């Protein structure tokens, strides 16, 4: 089994997952792998990323061909893939490894900027129209740390069979050179959870809500409780943890 770490610019794609009416990164990757293997080979990721969401540390696995060395896979794939999808590493792992089910945690970063005049911001950051109060956002973030039912901070399309309880180990919020970076580390995240938490914290930082409202939304455990959802282009899957 090959475990690969890949990075991609999600701007031109409808997310990771293959789709019938749009182009997903998985489809592009499997086409490249098929050229190497001479036949279709399924690629499994640690989880889906949505349209326009980026990754620096997405993890995938696929069945290897015995005559191809892992380092050859990296070179061959990067020669076939478009320049906005890059393989960072390929290693041979045990066949019981699973990119999704073996994962024990993930880190997502979300980047905002106050620089409205940077033409490169709009594809890779969320441009804020007004300043935010970092200290208020940090107080709100403390309420989201720990183990909670995050139904209120998730997509209304979430599969009802999936557990809604997740553990967030840390939330960091830092400002540097006009950029504000949120960093979330947890056992896993529901669909839209990070974007909805960021949207709520930004609303808090812009005094649209109060600190106690963050807790009230969480406590409701209602998929309609949160009306905030930050745009996708500021979100990055940074790292997936195993073991």
**Residue 56 is encoded by which pair of tokens?**
């620096």
Give the per-residue pLDDT at 152: 96
- The annotation status of 108 as a binding-site residue, yes or no, is yes
Confidence of residue 243 (pLDDT cuts 50, 70, 90): confident
Exposure class string for 228-237: b at 16+ Cβ within 10 A, else e: bebbbbbbbb
> By C-alpha distance, which of 223, 107, 98 is closest to 159?
223
> By C-alpha distance, which of 176, 175, 173, 192 is closest to 184?
173
What DSSP state is assigned to residue 100?
A: T
Give the per-residue pLDDT at 61: 98
Per DSSP, what are the bridge partners of residue 186? Answer: 106, 168
Q: What digits encode the pLDDT tens for the residues 38-90? A: 999 999 999 999 999 999 999 999 999 999 999 999 999 999 999 999 999 99
Taken in order of first residue, the domains within the chain and their CATH numbers are: 2-92 (3.30.70.580), 104-242 (3.30.70.660)
Give the per-residue pLDDT at 78: 98
State the catalytic residues: 50
pLDDT at 157 over 80: no
């Amino acid at each position: 089994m090959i475990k690969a770490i890949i990075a991609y610019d999600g701007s031109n794609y409808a997310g990771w997952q293959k789709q019938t009416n749009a182009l997903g990164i998985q489809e592009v990757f499997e086409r490249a792998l098929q050229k190497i293997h001479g036949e279709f080979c399924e690629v499994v990721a640690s989880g889906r990323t949505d349209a326009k969401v980026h990754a620096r540390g997405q993890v995938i696995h696929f069945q290897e061909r015995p005559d191809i060395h892992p380092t050859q896979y990296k070179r061959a794939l990067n020669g076939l893939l478009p320049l906005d999808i890059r393989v960072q590493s390929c290693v041979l792992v045990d066949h019981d490894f699973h990119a999704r089910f073996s994962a024990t945690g993930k880190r997502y970063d979300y980047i905002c900027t106050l620089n409205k005049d940077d033409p490169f911001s709009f594809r890779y950051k969320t441009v804020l129209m007004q300043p935010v109060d970092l200290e208020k956002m940090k107080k709100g973030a403390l309420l989201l740390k720990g183990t909670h039912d995050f139904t209120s901070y998730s997509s209304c399309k979430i599969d009802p069979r999936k557990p809604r309880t997740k553990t967030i180990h840390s939330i960091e919020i830092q400002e540097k050179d006009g950029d504000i970076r949120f960093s979330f580390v947890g056992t896993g995240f529901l669909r839209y959870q990070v974007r909805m938490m960021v949207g709520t914290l930004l609303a808090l930082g812009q005094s649209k809500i109060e600190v106690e409202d963050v807790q009230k939304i969480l406590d409701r455990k209602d998929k309609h409780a949160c009306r905030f959802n930050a745009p996708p282009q500021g979100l990055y899957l940074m790292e997936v943890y195993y073991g």
